Chain A
Amino acid sequence: MRAALGTGVLACLAEEDLHGYAIAEQLEQRGLGRPKGGSLYPLLSSLEAAGSVDASWVQGERGPGRRTYRLTDAGRARLSEERTAWRRLVAALDPTMDTSPAEKGER
């Protein structure tokens, strides 16, 4: 699962801007399991350093602001490349499986 975590995070952010814990919850909903904070934030930090995501403090309705992550254009391109690589991997493991992007409704 660790190998897919980076792609999973990018995929969650492709839909909406999220703060750290919300990303962990989204990953859980996608069946990837909820990563521990100890794995998630160093990964987000690497993605930020690589320019795939950027982060800003967004004031919440109640309580203090949250640091919210947003996918950058570079991050969107990276997600697309990583999705292609995962599809190739799945196709290699199971040739009977249809992994064409159109039918999977890729965003």
Chain B
Amino acid sequence: MRQQATDVAAAIDRVGAARGAPEDTDWARRGAAALLIADVLEARVVEALEEAAAQVSDAGEPAQTLLGDPDEWAAEHRSRWREEGTEQTAAPTAVRRDLVIETLIIASLYSGLFFVYELITWSWSDPFTLAGLAAPLALAVTSRAVEATFTAARARRSHPGGVIAAVLVGAVGVAVTVGTFAVGNGIVLGPRAPLGALGAMVGYGLLAWIVAQLWREQPRRAGTQEPLSDDEWLAALGSALRTRGDMTGARIATVLAEAKEHAQDAGTSLPAEFGPPRAYAQRFEEDRAVRARRTAWLTTAGALGVLSYNVITVLDGTPSLWGGLWLLVSAIIAALSWRTVRELR
């Protein structure tokens, strides 16, 4: 019996090797990308590609002809896994090592933006200050902390709970960043701001790489866990449903209540009747309307933030064209997201 591919790259090669056609490799790459973008577990992607490789090998036809468009092929697999109750995405885990490395990478990206800003505004003769070095890190810590707080609080409590916790953490982060600018702007580290920003970009990137090398990744435990009690199962299901991001609190309460009543009527345990909580949570079809509505509120909040900034600059007597353009772009994005909400109604 053929040994199964161990990772996605090997499985893509397996599809390409089925007929020895490079076009099949491209097809497999696109199919795998569609699944990976949807956060599908690597093991599921490998299984799907293995199946495709076997089909292409048996039929001797191009993957595109045999299995159709790779995006549709990926969507069909996701739909099949959902129907079968197969777990297709992993629980979001906030591993300390990943948080640190991601924060440093984000700091490197912010430094890159600072560099571009210095170039656009032609600030060659400006000095590189401590703020130029520390502010990207402060912004990166804020961004990563806001995302991690939102994800954790939403899973534990509710979507609005996640938003409130994220706003509180964001406010503290913004205060720290403003403080960094206030203190750091007066401390000059070098003569050329753009070169300093470029150096910070490379430096943070390098630091992320060094941390990744020195801090070894702990192997993640597979899904072989202790059997759950009914209460633990309900708690895990609630968390998994909230993490989906497309279910309202009322809908989640309904799913939980129905599961509990059904198991009581059947005289069985919840795990026996409904399977693993994460897999069950993934069996419900996506509610695009709820997701679109939440995105629309987020973009509206962003546009209101930009509007507030513009009002302050006008009151200060320092209105800027950039501020106006920024407001226009954010207003258009918000309007487009509300249009999507209307279309899905």
Contact = CB atoms under 8 A, between A and B. Distances in A.
Contacts, number: 50
Interface of B: 82-83, 85, 254-255, 257-259, 261-263, 265-266, 273-275, 280, 283-285, 287
Contacts of A49: 285, 287
A19 B273 CA distance: 16
Interface in A5-48: 19-21, 24, 36-42, 45-46
B284 A45 contact: yes
A62 interface: no
Nearest to A65: B257
A78 interface: no
B263 to A, nearest CB: 7
Q: Among the interface residues A21, A37, A46, A66, which one has the most CB atoms of the partner chain B within 10 A?
A: A37
Given A2-B83, A42-B283, A45-B285, A37 B259 contact: yes
A interface bracket (residues with beta carbon within 8 Å of B) = 10 to 19
A67 interface: yes
B273 A36 contact: yes
A38 B287 contact: no
Interface string A71-104: 0000000000000000000000000000000000
Given A45-B285, A49-B285, A36 B261 contact: no
Contacts of A21: 261-262, 265-266
B283 A38 contact: yes
A71 to B, nearest CB: 18
A41 B285 contact: no
A47 to B, nearest CB: 10
Contact of A37 (B83, B254, B274, B285): B274
Contact of B280 (A19, A38, A66): A38
A41 B275 CA distance: 13
A21 B83 CA distance: 19
Given A21-B261, A66-B261, A67-B258, A37 B284 contact: no
Nearest to B274: A38
15 contacts: A20-B258, A20-B262, A36-B274, A37-B258, A37-B259, A37-B266, A37-B274, A38-B273, A38-B283, A39-B283, A41-B284, A42-B284, A42-B285, A45-B255, A49-B285
